[in-house]
Amino acid sequence: MPNFQPDDFHGIHAILYALFDENERLDRVAMRRQVEICLATGVHGMAALGLATEVAKLTEAERRTIMDWTAEDTAGKVPLAFTIFGASVAEQVAQVRHAESVGADWVILQPPPAGSYGAPEYIRFFGRVAEATGLPVAIQNAPVFFGRGLTSDEIRDLVTQHPNIRLIKGEGPVTDIAGLIERTEGRIPVFNGRGGLELIDNFRIGCRGMILAPDCIDHAVRVFEAFRSGDETTAEAEYAKMLPAAVFVMQGIENLICYGKRLFGARAGIAIQDRAPAMRPNEIGLAMVARFAAHLGRLPHGSS
């Protein structure tokens, strides 16, 4: 049974990068260090297998492996979510089953990466997957990144039809997320991402939390904690420190995977290897990574 329920989900949740060795295989030691570092920063939740985890490059077996490792390393310290990737209902349900088996607290459904259909088809698809599990389910609505998505009214209809869908993972500007919160009448917790852009304003409009890659995760945690305590001056100062780096890495998903991952590696002392096909860094980008890493400082070392 899950240890956490949606009312416990808040704050800054880390979405892990896929870390590879020089032979393009998943690196067990580096993945463990990543989780340890995120926990040491004080994250309020852990997640894996989203866009930052390069999920489309992973085999089904590798996705299950990342679930196994992340659950083992998180060890129930914070709520654990896995993004569910798959081109069919059966494939997604199989991934959900494995998430259940390792003790996930919730799952985040992505639209199937096949074709482009109208909203009713996606509503039926998500509903069938959600009905297959007793875990709290979130929908990742990121039309800019996926090329497909639902409107605020369609999301309202979806969660009305399927009470098991209890959270929304948005990927959009604050103005769009505010509309989503308004149209769902604040009845369903909403998380945003986008690398922490507009971080404080997301909290001002009522976002329950943010799901972010770990390159600037320590500063994001401090922003949230300061904002929650009513110290907006400290929150703004921490946000100002991380914002240039967030803008740099969030020029697109491939840019995030190329440079955001390298920024994390530079701050964590972890060598970064790519799995082809991949955006390759250039000298200008690497110089910017080094400059941002020096400005942001080293990440906590964790337990190792």
- Delimit the domains of the chain by residue range: 6-215
104-149 pLDDT per residue, tens? 999 999 989 888 888 889 889 999 999 999 999 999 886 666 666 7
3-state secondary structure of 139: strand
Spatial CB neighbours of 6, under 8 Å, sequence gap ≥ 6: 106, 136, 166, 167, 189
Q: Residue 167 is which amino acid?
A: L
What is the spatial distance between Cα 217 and Cα 258, in angstroms, rounded to a whole number?
17
Model confidence pLDDT, tens digit, residues 220-264 = 999 999 999 999 999 999 999 999 999 999 999 999 999 999 999
More confident of the two residues 180 and 58 = 58
With pLDDT > 90 as the criterion, what percentage of the chain qualifies?
A: 78
As a whole number, the mean pLDDT across the chain is 94
Q: For 208, phi and psi rounded to 5 degrees?
A: -70, -30
Identity of the residue numbered 190: V
> Mean pLDDT lowest for which of 15-19, 99-103, 127-131, 151-155?
151-155
**152 to 11, 90, 141, 142, 272: CA distances (angstroms):** 23, 27, 10, 12, 38
Compute φ and ψ for 293, nearest 5 degrees.
Answer: -65, -40
Tokens encoding 249: 């890495």
Q: CA-CA distances (angstroms) from residue 64 to 85, 95, 266?
A: 11, 7, 28
Q: Looking at the domain 6-215, which fold is it?
A: TIM Barrel (3.20.20)
**Around 75, how many Cα atoms within 13 Å sit in the side-chain half-sphere?**
7
- Span 160-173, average pLDDT: 89
Rounded to 5 degrees, φ, ψ at 84 are: -105, 115
Torsion of CA 190, 194, 195, 200, to 10 degrees: -50
Residue 279 confidence (pLDDT) above 80: yes
- What average pLDDT does range 11-29 have in this prediction? 98
Asked if residue 4 has pLDDT above 60, the reply is yes
**For residue 216, which of 234, 191, 199, 204 has the smallest C-alpha distance?**
199
57-69 mean pLDDT? 97
Residue 109, classed as helix, strand or coil, is strand
20 pLDDT above the threshold of 80: yes
Categorize the per-residue pLDDT at 157 as very low, low, confident or very high, splitting at 50, 70 and 90: confident
Identify the band that residue 5 occupies on the pLDDT scale cut at 50, 70 and 90: confident
Give Cα separations from 146 to 78, 152, 198, 204, 220 (angstroms): 28, 16, 21, 27, 25
Residue 1, pLDDT above cutoff 50: no
d(CA 123, CA 141): 12
Q: Is the pLDDT at 8 greater than 80, yes or no?
A: yes
Single-letter amino acid, residue 199? L
What does the pLDDT read at residue 303? Answer: 64
Helix, strand, coil abundance in the chain, percent, nearest 5: 50, 10, 35
User: Which range is least confidently modeled, 252-261, 282-291, 295-304?
Assistant: 295-304
Q: Is the pLDDT of residue 186 over 50?
A: yes
C-alpha to C-alpha distance for 238 and 227, rounded to whole angstroms: 10
